[in-house]
């Protein structure tokens, strides 16, 4: 089947199973283009997510460590979070999250990409921003559910940690490499190309 022959599934019977401030779980009856029926097919609605690859004035990457209950581990990640209902600009969200989670403000902030965290089940997007010239402005301003330690890391060391599996959040590893390709001109490709 060629790419041009692919079509969206048809859907009906939508129902909301869980509705919370963090996410909504929905179920639909779906019919694929070849007639297979998937009922229920579950969808996760989250707000847009925004993460920031921020470099400080010493060219270190501002990473954060925090406990992630799903993995039951301390995770090394990019700062970021969900867009608030009142926000519609990823740059605004990224600047806010950078300040809240690291206490830093950046000289420049650029939007690099919007990706899908999981195109099979998630309806939201995840944005990666590149920040440069980040400098401390104030103490962290964390939600009651957040315990974060800021970890300024030489960016080459962050690359080694990601490759070694020391950064367990796969989404953040991918976002980090997008940002490093832009910020540091790193080339990723097949051998011999």
Same domain, 61 and 36: no
105 shares a domain with 177: yes
In the chain, the percentage of residues whose pLDDT exceeds 90 is 88
Which three-class secondary structure state does DSSP give residue 67? strand
Residue 111 in any domain: the answer is yes
Q: What pLDDT digit, counting tens, does each position of 73-132 carry?
A: 999 999 999 999 999 999 999 999 999 999 999 999 999 999 999 999 999 999 999 999
Inside any domain, residue 192: no
Q: Is the CB of residue 84 less than 8 Å from the CB of residue 93?
A: yes
71 within a domain of the structure (yes/no): yes
Q: Is residue 30 one of the residues assigned to a domain?
A: yes
Q: What pTM was estimated for this model as a whole?
A: 0.90
Query: Is the domain of 40 the same as that of 55?
Result: no
Beta bridge pairs of residue 43: 26
Per the structure, the complete domain to which residue 40 belongs is given by 7-45
Indicate whether 130 and 77 sit together in one domain. yes
pLDDT over threshold 90, residue 186: no
Domain with residue 151: its CATH number is 3.90.79.10
What stretches of 43-142 show up as alpha helix (H) in DSSP? 90-102
Question: How far apart (Å, rounded) are the C-alpha atoms in residues 10 and 186?
Answer: 42
Asked whether residue 37 falls in the same domain as residue 54, the answer is: no
């Amino acid at each position: 089947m060629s790419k041009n022959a692919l079509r969206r599934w048809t859907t009906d019977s939508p129902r909301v199973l869980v509705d919370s401030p963090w996410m909504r779980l929905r179920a639909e009856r779906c019919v694929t283009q070849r007639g297979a029926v998937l009922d229920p097919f579950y969808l996760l609605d989250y707000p847009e997510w925004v993460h920031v690859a921020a470099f400080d004035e010493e060219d270190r990457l501002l990473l954060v460590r925090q406990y992630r209950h799903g993995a039951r581990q301390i995770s090394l990640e990019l700062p970021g979070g969900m867009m608030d209902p009142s926000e519609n600009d990823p740059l605004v969200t990224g600047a806010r999250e950078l300040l809240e989670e690291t206490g830093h403000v950046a000289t420049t902030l650029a939007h690099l990409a919007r990706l899908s965290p999981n195109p099979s089940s998630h309806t939201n997007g995840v944005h990666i921003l590149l920040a440069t010239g980040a400098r401390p402005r104030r103490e962290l301003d964390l939600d009651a559910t957040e315990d974060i330690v800021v970890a300024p890391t030489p960016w080459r060391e962050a690359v080694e940690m990601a490759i070694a599996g020391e950064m367990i959040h796969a989404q953040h590893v991918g976002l980090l490499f997008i940002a490093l390709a832009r910020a540091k001109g790193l080339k990723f490709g097949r051998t011999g190309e």
